[in-house]
Structure 1
């Protein structure tokens, strides 16, 4: 077994222990001490250490070259109030409404700051997903309310609402989000599965490539990278390729919408779903995998890094210092 697989197995065991009641209350005090220590560490120091651990080489914040290095430079030094709004899965809805139109939003069915409100009588009878607005923990899919352990679900969200994603990753946009639980209609394909997730990577306001998580509901989940003409790229970013996907009929629409949303950002990942011929907005991401996801081919990280222009920001920062 590879070292990476052993590490993943160990992390899963720790995660499973932490999710249990006994594990949570035993580990929580230790985690709070750990979080306190994290707060004392300067962002550039913490990010450099995390980068070396995940990527295997040192992060050069003075002269970043690869895409992952530049994402981390932006994470440490490029912070604006608008970043907090677009990272908030609740507040971003108003932003999307203003920028491209309400018709692209997944219907919002319920929202609350109180996990005790997450009860079957408060939620709709249509298929839906329950998630937080301030993190990347995924969500609880509800297709049949009678199959859900609601007490356990409320406990899960009570814990999630206490977490702050910023301190471990230094993704500043998460620091000041007011935690909330949101319930959205569950999008499904004609066969009842979750739709493909089109992650559109925009550099300096222009679409550079698509990342598509293929068959997200299956153990054989893959990730394909496509250029704007829907040619499969010889690059793997964290996952093997899945089955090749047909060119989406709304490709041009997704590109136009993504560039409309990305025009004010240096790097932005814009996510869309295509369901039964209609385009739905997913989320906006400022730092793909926090800048810690390896390309299997180093040349891809370097090639995409050359296309992302942040030199003017670096020079401006050097001039001010």
Structure 2
């Protein structure tokens, strides 16, 4: 799990493996062995063991009560083809356009299945992000193409395209995504800083709370949760409280968009960015923190769990 001081050793090793060429070269054989082991172990067993390790108690799949328990139940028993489509950061664009309109999409600048195509002549001069469509590895932010080591970048994405996020997360929606590289416009505030995203957690098609993270790329990361009326919820989920945030002027529009995009799903996190008064869609996430992130109090986990109805899903 995460703590207030930053990332665990496992997360730091994962960052080295994913984000450095040397780390990938050294650790890839061990990673392949690890993934091979995961492929022959039943999903339920892996999830139950991981839950006990991260949460400190046994996962009850027969009668899940907490939000984290229900998220893990959904990982096993709520598997639909639509989940695969919208978890794909490239194909989800069609879904979003059909549901709420193209104007909410971050401009797509380039896409390819071949990492050799990542060359300055194929891309804008500045201000974009390169990422894959099939995992949660983050991306490469490019402020100026002349400042990027393109050889290392191509090697990095070559390795990423070979990974299948399903085998390390047991989140089924990633299993059959066709890997691709996407390049999007980099959203920034006027001072050039990266905007916070508004993570709208929707249960059974209704917004239940909005999560906002601050200083996401530092060890001082904080988080607030707000209810649908923009009241601060006295619950910490994995992070300490952050600075107070005023209700956005277009919050009601964001709420409507989130509920429209969530109507086909039991539980989903709909992410948005607010930049210069405009709303931009970020992504759809079906299992926040893979269902392994502790609330500061178990009561909050239980309280939110009671609001999520999973009975409409058949095992």
Is 1:75 aligned to 2:75, yes or no?
Answer: yes
Is 1:224 aligned to 2:224, yes or no?
Answer: yes
- 8 Å CA contact retained: 2:268, 2:286: yes
For normalisation by structure 2, the TM-score amounts to 0.94
Alignment of 1:98-117 (within 5 A): 98-117=98-117
Alignment of 1:1-321 (within 5 A): 8-9=8-9, 11-13=11-13, 15-16=15-16, 20-313=20-313, 316-317=314-315
Could you report, residue by residue, the CA deviation over 1:203-262 in whole angstroms, capped at 9, with x for unpaired residues?
000000000112335543311100011111111111111111111011000100111111
- 8 Å CA contact retained: 1:198, 1:210: yes
Cα distance in 2 for partners of 1:165, 1:241 equals 30
Cα distance in 1 for partners of 2:95, 2:80 equals 15
CA separation of 1:26 and 1:136: change in aligned 2, threshold 3 A: same
> How many residues get paired?
314
- 8 Å CA contact retained: 1:194, 1:216: no
Cα distance in 2 for partners of 1:141, 1:247 equals 29
Cα distance in 2 for partners of 1:7, 1:149 equals 26
Cα distance in 2 for partners of 1:14, 1:77 equals 28
C-alpha RMSD over aligned residues: 2.0
- 8 Å CA contact retained: 2:3, 2:238: no
- 8 Å CA contact retained: 1:193, 1:217: no
Cα distance in 1 for partners of 2:193, 2:26 equals 38
CA separation of 1:303 and 1:128: change in aligned 2, threshold 3 A: same
Could you report, residue by residue, the CA deviation over 1:275-294 in whole angstroms, capped at 9, with x for unpaired residues?
11111000001111111111
Cα distance in 1 for partners of 2:182, 2:14 equals 27
CA separation of 1:14 and 1:266: change in aligned 2, threshold 3 A: closer
Shift of 1:5: 6.3
Cα distance in 2 for partners of 1:251, 1:17 equals 38
- 8 Å CA contact retained: 1:18, 1:27: no
Cα distance in 1 for partners of 2:302, 2:140 equals 37
Cα distance in 2 for partners of 1:21, 1:138 equals 16
CA separation of 1:133 and 1:14: change in aligned 2, threshold 3 A: closer
Larger RCO of the pair (alpha carbons < 8 Å, separation 6+): 2
Q: Any stretches of 5+ residues in structure 2 without a counterpart?
A: none
- 8 Å CA contact retained: 1:113, 1:179: yes
- 8 Å CA contact retained: 1:205, 1:265: yes
For normalisation by structure 1, the TM-score amounts to 0.93
- 8 Å CA contact retained: 1:194, 1:217: no
Shift of 1:146: 1.5
Could you report, residue by residue, the CA deviation over 1:168-192 in whole angstroms, capped at 9, with x for unpaired residues?
2110000000000000000011221
Could you report, residue by residue, the CA deviation over 1:110-156 in whole angstroms, capped at 9, with x for unpaired residues?
00111111111111124100000001111111111121111111111
Shift of 1:22: 4.9
Instruction: Name whichever of 61-70 and 183-192 sits farther off.
Output: 183-192
Aligned with 2:89: secondary structure?
Answer: coil
Q: Any stretches of 5+ residues in structure 1 without a counterpart?
A: none
Instruction: Name whichever of 13-22 and 82-91 sits farther off.
Output: 13-22
Cα distance in 2 for partners of 1:117, 1:292 equals 37
CA separation of 1:14 and 1:271: change in aligned 2, threshold 3 A: closer
